[in-house]
Amino acid sequence: MYVHRSAQDSIESSLRRDCVTAILGPRRVGKTSLITDFSKGVQDGIWCRINLDQRSTRERISNQELEQIIIEQCGQNIGAQEKIWVAIDEAQKSPELFEQIKIIYDEWLERDPKKIKFILTGSGHLSLHKLSTESLAGRIELYYLQPFTLRELGAIQNANIETSSLLTFLNSTETDSLPDKLDAAIKKILPFKATLNNILRESLIWGGLPVVTQFSSIDEKKIYLTNYIDTYLEQDVRAINTISDLTLYKHMMEIIAQQTGSLRDDKKITQALSCNIETLKKYRGYLQSTLLYIEIYPFMDAMLSKLVKSPKGYMLDNGLISNLTGLYDSAALITTGKIGNRFENWFILELRSWLEQQPDRSEIHYWRLSSGAEIDFVVSKRPHVYPFEITYAEKSERKKIANLIKFMHVVPDVAWGFYIYNGKFEVDLVNRIIFLPAWSI
């Protein structure tokens, strides 16, 4: 069953424009499935599919044979009878690819831009090769696809669940009416509360990789996640000449998984791995470039001297964290105090999925003072700033509410603060805080 992705409308708009469209995201999050679904509605043209996971294809690209490959697959020259749709998987694996795309694209942009469309997908930033950004600057539109969100997972079980997140209501400039809009939206989805609550609990263990959702047994899910990591190491990491120790790289992933949601502590990590800081930076940088890990930095404000300045790191799928740490049990997560980190990890995926659908520049930060006051996530989406406190608890905590109030006192451009928890929808009009049940996101 194919699920319409929350980012699909914005991506499909790009696919219809005369540009190079790139869809990036970790391995097996559904990039190819999205393009296949789109292609079913395309009435004109021939599809050419090129997979750069294949070494023989990469060798042909390095020999400047991209146009020849396209002609062979389509049985016609570019510019002949039918439009050619060229979908290239794992584009980041061939540095020679981008200059060839530029030459073909520029030629047909002048002659007839409707004759060819390039669609690139990748499980790594195209900036892994500087040539890509230099060659395709001004020609390429970048989009990101994440693992399944809570609503997308819900739509698998019930097609009546809309995949659009509650967070999209924050795009409205009419901030005073936001509580009423959110209240109405939550009431609309209330019949699915039990389903979404159960899915949320499951996603803290198994994450949102599409194939994982197809398995009913725990053993099948564990085997798939193990194979996923092995494939990543063998096909992606081993191909990088500067990464020579796969065992060290895997151990680094395990440590990062254990510390997800925590302040980064390079000294402890290098001691645990018995490696130097330069090796750690290089290996961690590649993990970030292959879209499995992100770091968020402090939100800077007038209290700069009082801020904690270390970044926080997040492994981007809870299923991978479970596999790398061996923690698959909700009770164990609660006992060890790790449930809060998994909850944050789930919510940052929701934030990224929401923000990446918007053309506006946006960033995710955190805020923490040396005195201990903190906000889990601060979204900067100018001219607005959105602070989010996240807790797995069913009741609000006075300290967290106080942190929101303090932040909103210090930072301008904050219309509302948001408290995400397992309680009920409420609005504090005095302090302008909206309490949102996690299942409704």
**What is the per-residue pLDDT across 12-62, written as a single tens digit (0 to 9) for each?**
999 999 999 999 999 999 999 999 999 999 989 999 999 999 999 999 999
Indicate the burial class of 255 (C-beta count within 10 angstroms; 0-12, 13-18, 19 or more): middle
Q: Would 3 be classed as within a structural domain?
A: no
Residue 342 lies in a domain: yes
Is 80 exceeded by the pLDDT of residue 128? no
Same domain, 204 and 330: yes
Asked whether residue 273 is assigned to any structural domain, the reply reads yes
Per-residue pLDDT at 132: 64
Residues 74 and 157 in one domain: no
Rounded-to-integer distance, Cα 149 and Cα 155, Å: 10
**Mean pLDDT of the region 60-71:** 98
132 and 63 inside one domain? yes
| Chain mean position to CA 431 | 32
E strands in 305-425: 312-315, 363-368, 374-381, 384-390, 417-421
pLDDT above 90 for 104: yes
Determine how β-strand 84-89 pairs with β-strand 116-122. parallel
Q: pLDDT tens for residues 138-172?
A: 899 999 999 999 999 999 999 999 999 999 999 87
One domain, residues 103 and 191: no
- Do both 110 and 224 map to the same domain? no
Residues 168, 138: one domain?
Answer: no
Same domain, 113 and 172: no
CB atoms within 10 A of CB 265: 14
| Same domain? 138 vs 156 | no
**Domain end residue (candidates: 101, 117, 144):** 144
Quote the pLDDT of residue 304: 55
Closest to 230 measured CA to CA, from 349, 128, 320: 320
2 is a domain residue: no
Backbone angles phi, psi at 2, to 5 degrees: -90, 135
* Shared-domain flag, residues 130 and 157: no
Q: What confidence score (pLDDT) does residue 178 get?
A: 96
User: 70 near 48, Cβ under 8 Å?
Assistant: yes
Rounded to whole angstroms, the Cα distance separating 304 from 411 reads 12
- Are residue 312 and residue 416 in the same domain, yes or no? yes
In a domain, 323, yes or no: yes
Give the end of a domain, one of 144, 168, 193: 144
> What are residue 116's DSSP bridge partners?
84
> Considering the domain boundaries, does residue 432 fall inside one?
yes
This prediction has a pTM of 0.94
Same domain, 197 and 65: no
CATH (domain of 111): 3.40.50.300
The SS3 call for residue 123 is coil
48 DSSP β-pair partners: 86
How many domains does the chain divide into?
2
- For the chain, what is the mean pLDDT? 93
Residue 178 inside a domain? The answer is yes
Question: Is residue 1 one of the residues assigned to a domain?
Answer: no
End position of a domain, from candidates 144, 159, 185:
144
pLDDT tens-digit readout, 378-411: 999 888 899 999 999 999 999 999 999 999 998 8
Rounded-to-integer distance, Cα 20 and Cα 342, Å:
36
Q: Are residues 221 and 357 in the same domain?
A: yes
pLDDT single digits (tens) 159-215 = 999 999 999 999 877 889 999 999 999 999 999 999 999 999 999 999 999 999 999
Return d(Cα 85, Cα 67) in angstroms, integer. Answer: 13
Range of the domain at 230: 151-440
Question: Residues 355, 348: contact at Cβ < 8 Å?
Answer: no
User: Over the Cα atoms of the chain, what is R_g?
Assistant: 23
Q: Which helix (H) or strand (E) holds 241?
A: none
